Each structure stands twice: as structure tokens, then as C-alpha cells.
Structure 1
Amino acid sequence: MNNLILLVTCFVAGMLLRRSGRMSEQAPATLNSFIIHISLPALTLLYIHDLKLSGDVAFIAAMAWIHFGLAAGFFWVVGKWLKLPRPTVGALMLTGGLGNTSFLGLPMIEAYYGKEAIVTGLIADQLGSFLVLSILGITVAGLYSSGAPGARTILRRIAIFPPFVALIVAVLLIPVVYPEWFTLLLKRLGDTLAPLALLSVGFQLRLGHLAGNGRNLALGLLFKLLLAPLAIFLLYVPLLGAGGQHIQVTLFEAAMPPMITAAIVATEHDLDPELATLMVAVGLVLSFFTLAGWWWVMRAV
């Protein structure tokens, strides 16, 4: 409960700071840069170091790939049916197919499942969402805009992304025992992720673009928050017979609202920036309710 109060407080504080004009409009970019370069790598180095690989890792990592595949197929069909512009379809694929498994996902996992479950979230994010964004997401963004990125560009983006570098280092350091001071340092730096991420998202919330985007926004969030998690739940639990806390947390990650970075990629490629931003902002607010519902549903898994 304390973690949820922290998340809500930081989200509201971000909204109030924007309205008050006490923070620069460039502040979210600075906050997000700190999170990507410091907070998330610190958490990765801390929790992946203690990772015990098992058969569940494949299920955890596969979730994001399955999720994006479902989104690509769903929004391709919807786009044809409703005759949506290509940039809109691309924006929906990106924001409807990729969840906020790190900035929001990790704090929410800690709030609902405890710190020990964060490692599952990191696997879902690093081996799932991040790689999907870097490979499939960037490719879709290029295909639905002008000019597709080359293989060299994609590989370079993966290779220099700080959390990915931290993932490789953390795996290499698994046999090494961290000194106590280093563990404490990583923990303190990692603890900044939740408040800074929610402050940044709250600051960027804009509802003025709702007019004219209602139908597409509703379709995108219906898929992201309800249909996709339901499909993955049915695949993992009744069909594959998976269970346990790792699977609960993986399904919980599948229900996360749209990824902030996916919306940034959509905006950079001019894929309906207004819709992409609304998907993140409105999805985040609604997810406080839908995630509670999914947590309740998945307790028996």
C-alpha cells in the first residue's frame, strides 16, 4: 500500500508541477534520461545478479514477443476494416503492443508482489519488451513511416542501450560476490526509478487531444489493457498449464499500460503523435484500476 501511495503521489505531483510552471518543459527528457542511464541499469545489476535460470525464463521472456505479434495482427486487421491511416495503425501497433514493463511495471510489481518478484519483471522487460521494441518495434516504425532502418542501425541501438549493457554485465558478474557497499549503492540508485518515472509521466499528461481520437484511443486501450492480457492468460494457464508466482507476475506485466518509449519512437517517426501520447497518458490512469482487477484474477494461477 505504501508503494501505491508513493506512485500516486508522484504522478499527481508531476501534474501539479506542470500546471504551476515551476519545472521546465524539458524536465521529463532529463528525468527519463536519468532513469534509462542510472536507475534501470542499477536495478538490472542488482537483481539479475541473483537470477536463477529455470524453465520459467522462456515463458517470461516470450510474453512480450507474443503480445507484440498479437497487436500487429489485431491492428493490421482493424486498420483495414476501419480504413485507418498508416501512421495511426503504426502508432497503435507500437503503443498497443508494448507495455510499460519497467518504469511502471517494476514499481507496481513491488507494490503487489514484493521486491523478490522484481527479477521476473526485469526478465520480462529486458529479454522481452526491450528487445521487442529494439527489433520489431523499430522495424514497424520504419515500415509505417518513410524509410525502414537498416540492420546495422537496429543492432547499434540494441548494443548501446544502457539497460541492455547492464544486463550483459550483470549476467557476466553472476559468479562474482558483490561487496556490501556496492549492493547498497545499486539499491539506492534503483530506488529512484519509481518516483522519477511517475513524476515524469504525470508532468507529460495532456488531455486536450482527446477530441477526434476517442474511437482509436478506445480500441487501442481495449486491446492493451484487456484483450491482450486475456489472450496471454488463456494461452499460458489453461492451454500450457503454467503456474506459480513467476507466471502471475509475467501475466501482470502483460497487463501494463502502453510503454512510454514506444510512444516516443512513434512520435519520432511521425506516427500519429497525439494518439501515441494519449495511449500512454490515459492508459496509465486506467491501469491503476485494471491492474488491480488482473491481480485479483491471477491470484489463483
Structure 2
Amino acid sequence: MSNFLLLGICFVLGIVFRRFRLLPEQTPSILNGFIIYISLPALTLLYIHNLNLNWQIIVPVSMAWITFNLAFRIFRWLGKRLNWTRETTACIILVCGLGNTSFVGLPMIEVFFGKEGIPIGLMIDQLGSFLVLSTFGIVIASFYSGIKTSGKYLIKRILTFPPFLSLMIALMLLPVDYPPVMITVLEKLGNILAPIALLSVGYQLRFTKFYDHKLDIIAGLSFKLILSPLFLFFLYSLFVQKDLSFQITIFEAAMPPMITAAIVASEYNLNKELASMLVGIGIIISFLTLTGWWYILS
């Protein structure tokens, strides 16, 4: 309960700091940079090192790939029926086809399931969400914006992403025992991810022109927060046991839209306003929907 309260306070503080302009405009970029380059790699090095890698990781990792494929097919079809622009269609595919499995996902996993669920969440994020965004996500963004992207660019983007590098290092260090001082340092650097992430998310909230995109937002968030995790819940129930891995997988599937995907959408000029509102409104609603999913999974 104390962890949940901490996250709520940090989220509200982010909104307050922006409302009263108590922090500079570049604050989210600085906070996100700290998370990507320090806190997230630290958590990856700490928890992946103790993960038992076997065929069972296929189910958690496959979640993001299935969700994105589903989003692509549904929203491409829906976009044609509702006469969405190419930019709007691509924006919703990107932002609602991928979940916020790190910035919001990892803190929420710790709150609802404890730290033992974090390694599974990291695998979902690194080998699922991030790889999907860095490959198919960039291809979708390039295609709908008219920009051509080379295979060399995609490979470079993947290999130079700090959390992915730390994942590779953690896997190579599996046979090595970490010294106690290293574990302590990694824990302290990783533990501040949650409050910083929620502060950053709260600071970036935008509600401008909500009514202009009301139907788009309803369609995107209904898919991301309810329909896609519900589909995966029934799909995986047919093949796997309802253990912690199953719970974390569905819980991560129910995460709000991905912040990094919204950033990519903005970079490719794919309806920036809609991308921002999907993330902001999605996070607020997810506090309720994630609680509901936790009750279902428990």
C-alpha cells in the first residue's frame, strides 16, 4: 500500500509541477534520460541475472508481438471504415499496440505482485515491447509517414539502446556471482525508477483538444486496457498454467499506451496531439483497470 501511495503522490506532483511551472520544460527529457540510461539498465542487470531462462519465457515475450499484430490488423481495418487519416491510423497502431511495460509496468508489478515479478516484466519489456517498437514499430511509422528506413538503421537502434545493452551484459554475466557491493548499488539505482517515472508521466500529461479526438481515444484505450488483455487471457488459458508468469504477462498486456511509442509517433509527425492524450488519459484510467485486472488474476 505504501508503494502504491508513493506512486500516486509522484504522479500528482508531476501534474502540479507542470501546472504551476515549478520545473523547466525539459524536465521530462532529463528524467526519462535518467531512467533509460541508469535506472532501467540497473534493474535489468540486477534481476535478469537471477532469471531462470528456459522455454517458458516464450509466453511472456510473445505477448507484445501478438498484441501489436492484433492492433495493426484491427486499426488498419477500423481506420478505413472510419475514414481516419494515415497519421491517425499509424498513431493508434503504434501507441495502443504497445504497452507501457517499463515506466508504468515495472512499478505497478512491484506494487501488486512484489519484486519477484520484476524479472518477468523486464523480459516482456526488453524482448517484447522494445524489440517490437524498434523493428515493426519503426517500419509502420516510416511507411505511414512516407520515410524510408534502412535495415542498418534498425539494427543500430536496437544495439545502441542502453537497456538492451544491459540485457546482453546481464545474460553474459549469468555464470558470474555479483559482489554484495554491486548488488547494493544496482538496487539503489533501480529503486528510484518508479517515483521518477511517475513524476515524469504526470508532468507530460496533455488534455488539449480532447473532444476533437474523443472517438479515437475511446477506440484505442478500449483495445489497449480491456480487449487485448482479455483476448490474451483466454488465449493463454488454453495452453499454460495460471502461475506468476501468466499473471504478470496478462497484467503487462493491460498496461496503458507506451510513452516511447508516443515519442516515436511525434518524431514521425503521426498525430502528436492524439499520441500525447492516449498516453496521459490511458495512464489515469489504468489505475482503475489495472486494479480490476489484479483482482481477476488473483
Common fold by TM > 0.5: yes
| Pairwise CA distance, 1:242 | 3.4
| Pairwise CA distance, 1:5 | 0.5
2:5 equivalent in structure 1 = 5
Q: Cα RMSD (Å) of the superposition?
A: 0.8
1:251 equivalent in structure 2 = 250
| Residue-by-residue CA offset, 1:92-124 (whole Å, 9 max, x unaligned) | 000110000000100100000001110010011
1:291 equivalent in structure 2 = 290
| TM value normalised by structure 1 | 0.98
| Pairwise CA distance, 1:83 | 1.1
Q: Secondary structure at the match of 2:211?
A: coil
Give the Cα separation in 2 of the matches to 1:140 and 1:7.
33
Give the Cα separation in 1 of the matches to 2:142 and 2:208.
28
Higher alpha-carbon deviation: 53-62 or 70-79:
53-62
| Pairwise CA distance, 1:243 | 2.0
| Pairwise CA distance, 1:55 | 2.8
2:54 counterpart letter in structure 1: S
Within a 5 Å distance, the mapping from 1:130-145 to structure 2 comes to 130-145=130-145
Give the Cα separation in 1 of the matches to 2:274 and 2:56.
35
Is there any run of 5+ residues in structure 2 with no aligned partner, and where? none
1:168 equivalent in structure 2 = 168
| Residue-by-residue CA offset, 1:165-200 (whole Å, 9 max, x unaligned) | 000000000111001000000000001110111001
2:128 counterpart letter in structure 1: G
1:230 equivalent in structure 2 = 230
Q: Secondary structure at the match of 2:261?
A: helix
Count residues in correspondence. Answer: 298
Give the Cα separation in 2 of the matches to 1:23 and 1:209.
24
Within a 5 Å distance, the mapping from 1:15-30 to structure 2 comes to 15-30=15-30
Give the Cα separation in 2 of the matches to 1:19 and 1:241.
46
Q: Residue 56 of structure 1 contacts residue 247 of structure 1 at CA under 8 Å; is this kept in 2?
A: no
1:193 equivalent in structure 2 = 193
Q: 1:75 to 1:56 in 2, by over 3 A?
A: same
Asked if 1:109 corresponds to 2:109, the answer is yes
Q: Residue 44 of structure 2 contacts residue 122 of structure 2 at CA under 8 Å; is this kept in 1?
A: yes
Give the Cα separation in 1 of the matches to 2:248 and 2:12.
26
Q: Residue 45 of structure 1 contacts residue 169 of structure 1 at CA under 8 Å; is this kept in 2?
A: yes
Q: Residue 104 of structure 1 contacts residue 197 of structure 1 at CA under 8 Å; is this kept in 2?
A: yes
1:134 counterpart letter in structure 2: S
Is there any run of 5+ residues in structure 1 with no aligned partner, and where? none
| Pairwise CA distance, 1:211 | 2.4
| Pairwise CA distance, 1:209 | 2.4
1:262 equivalent in structure 2 = 261
2:121 counterpart letter in structure 1: G
Within a 5 Å distance, the mapping from 1:68-79 to structure 2 comes to 68-79=68-79
1:279 equivalent in structure 2 = 278
| Residue-by-residue CA offset, 1:147-177 (whole Å, 9 max, x unaligned) | 1311100000001000000000000001110
| TM value normalised by structure 2 | 0.99
Asked if 1:128 corresponds to 2:128, the answer is yes
2:135 counterpart letter in structure 1: I
Q: Residue 37 of structure 1 contacts residue 162 of structure 1 at CA under 8 Å; is this kept in 2?
A: yes
Give the Cα separation in 2 of the matches to 1:267 and 1:151.
21
Give the Cα separation in 2 of the matches to 1:298 and 1:246.
11
Q: Residue 208 of structure 2 contacts residue 273 of structure 2 at CA under 8 Å; is this kept in 1?
A: no
Give the Cα separation in 2 of the matches to 1:175 and 1:153.
32
| Residue-by-residue CA offset, 1:126-163 (whole Å, 9 max, x unaligned) | 11001011111111110110213111000000010000
Deviation >4 Å, runs of 4+: none
Q: Residue 42 of structure 2 contacts residue 187 of structure 2 at CA under 8 Å; is this kept in 1?
A: yes
Give the Cα separation in 2 of the matches to 1:158 and 1:58.
20
Within a 5 Å distance, the mapping from 1:38-187 to structure 2 comes to 38-187=38-187
Give the Cα separation in 2 of the matches to 1:80 and 1:18.
37
